[in-house]
Amino acid sequence: MAKNRVRLLPDASAPERFQSVFVTQWKDFVCLRKKVLKKPDPDDIHDLRTSLRRLRLALKLFEYFASSDVNKKFKKSLRKLSSILGGLRNIDEALLFFHAQISFSVSHQFYKKLKTNRSLKWRRLKKLLHLFDDQFDKLVQKMTVELKAISFTKKSERSMLTFFSNLSDHYSKTIHDLLAISIESKQWKSRHALRIAIRKWRYILEIYAVVLDRDYDSLLNQLKKYQLVLGRINDVAAFGALCRDMELSSAERKLIEITLLKEEKVLLKKFSKLIKRKPLIKHLGAM
């Protein structure tokens, strides 16, 4: 994607709103980081993971509008953090799911292994979170100043609106191509790709709503519903992967497989109904 500077939109306050979004994403991340360091609560870990995803998307937009690369060390640390948070969150969700679905006692080796894995991932996460100190905060402050100094009045082949539109078109096209096949039982890769596209489109639209002063509440609520169902389907696949790495008896493994298969069928049925009742197709390609 070419890094051209963007020209001023009819709404002269748009650049300031873009800067506000960027700063807000960072402040949210910093606040949640502090909460998680104090106590690794599953809900806060989930919120931190969501905040991190939004921040990484904001950084991509920064690189376009500021025409400068984000510090490589910073981006690498964010990628590592995203990976660890994902693994930790999967374990937390697996513990909740299996406690509700399977009659293993809480002292069962299965849960002990999950909790041991959680402790290991938490230590890795805590170590990485401590790296996000004043060094990275000063870096973000410097980036914010650069955003403020950008001239949005220079002529360019593409305006901010065109840039956003093209980005939205990319994700909506991906969603369009994947929706039809994603309800088939063995299309887990397609559903995984669809979930990511929907999530990114939703976050992009959230930025549009602020920067371009648009109302996307109805579509955003619909995308959230899709994201929740697809996220849960993806969780089932992640739970299966966690269990495959464990030493379990054949009876235990069979019970887990049956439980996960049953849950997947229920979720696929729910997803199919959602597509019929709240079709995304009419929104695709629309800004």
Whether 92 and 62 have beta carbons less than 8 Å apart is answered as no
pTM value? 0.84
Q: What is the pLDDT of residue 17?
A: 79
d(CA 167, CA 172): 9
Bigger pLDDT: 15 vs 287: 15
Question: Tens of pLDDT along 55-67?
Answer: 998 888 888 777 6
Whether 17 and 211 have beta carbons less than 8 Å apart is answered as yes
Q: What is the pLDDT of residue 161?
A: 72
Find the mean pLDDT for residues 261-268.
94
Whether 163 and 192 have beta carbons less than 8 Å apart is answered as no
Q: What is the pLDDT of residue 226?
A: 95
Sequential DSSP letters for 28-91: HHHHHHHHHHH---HHHHHHHHHHHHHHHHHHHHHHHHS-SPPPHHHHHHHHHHHHHHHHHHHH
Q: What is the pLDDT of residue 198?
A: 94
Q: Which of 57-66, 117-126, 140-149 has the highest mean pLDDT?
A: 117-126
Find the mean pLDDT for residues 26-51.
94
Q: What is the pLDDT of residue 107?
A: 54
Whether 179 and 275 have beta carbons less than 8 Å apart is answered as yes
CATH class entry, domain 13-151: mainly alpha
Question: Tens of pLDDT along 184-225?
Answer: 878 888 999 999 999 999 998 998 888 878 889 989 999 999
Neighbouring CB atoms inside 10 A of 58's CB total: 19
Residue 262 has pLDDT above 90, yes or no: yes
* Mean per-residue pLDDT of the chain: 84
Delimit the domains of the chain by residue range: 13-151, 158-281
